[in-house]
Chain A
């Protein structure tokens, strides 16, 4: 499918102050493209969750936005540390977030399940010592 738009957003580990800026830009970009409010909301929530995860848990990574006529795709790819037990990480309430993240109101163990709930398709691949890649797509039709 022809890609209409591709944008990459580097996300820095531990950058709590700027966390969410990529999601804000992505939301505005999609709004300008005329993406409907229901899909836009689901993309925004999942995007913010995955961006926060990059800030809270990863050693840094990149968020990629792809838009084609059928769907919006978000890819989060980090450079580690990787998730030892994906099934556990996908459980609501399970979290390894830092106190800093919790002070800001995050780290309740809702992130990954919430991404899965909002996306039309959700895939997570992770290898300890290598990194984690999360791919989410949101059908437009």
Chain B
């Protein structure tokens, strides 16, 4: 799946990364808890979240997350958008709730992150 397909499936609008719509994504995670995101997420991932603060971008940067979907039509601040632009993360705003956005993406074949343990490489 690509960022463009993610955008279409969640009925969203691209706010950052129009030039990266063809970037592929392999997996997704829906969470408002950045602690869990840091513990579970793999690369080439989409993060679907209802939480809006700069730490969502910071967390995503550390994990090399490809795309953030802000759910429930939330609009991130300019500061958040600039941070995402600077680190090359695509940002989408979707009118869907987190649950529905995740459900639609899953239905369209985007799998979730596998549970960790024991090795970080997922061995």
Contact = CB atoms under 8 A, between A and B. Distances in A.
B61 A24 contact: yes
Interface stretch (A41-49, A62-70, A72-80): A41-49
A42 B43 CA distance: 11
Interface stretch (A4-12, A83-91, A109-117, A124-132): A109-117
Contact of B55 (A19, A45, A47, A49): A19
A41 B43 contact: yes
Contacts of B56: 105
A110 B62 contact: no
B1 interface: no
A137 interface: no
Interface string A10-50: 00000001011001100100000000011001101101110
A62 B58 CA distance: 20
Interface stretch (B30-38, B70-78, B101-109): B30-38
Interface residues of B, number: 24
Nearest to B61: A24
Indicate the size class of the contact surface on chain A.
20 to 34
A63 B30 CA distance: 31
Main SS class of interface, B: helix
Contacts of B43: 37, 41
Contacts of A118: 120
Contacts of B64: 37, 41
A110 B39 contact: yes
A105 B55 contact: yes
Interface of B: 32-39, 43, 51, 53-56, 58-59, 61-64, 116, 118, 120-121
17 contacts: A20-B62, A23-B58, A24-B58, A27-B61, A41-B63, A44-B62, A45-B63, A104-B55, A105-B32, A105-B35, A105-B37, A105-B59, A108-B33, A108-B36, A110-B39, A111-B35, A111-B38
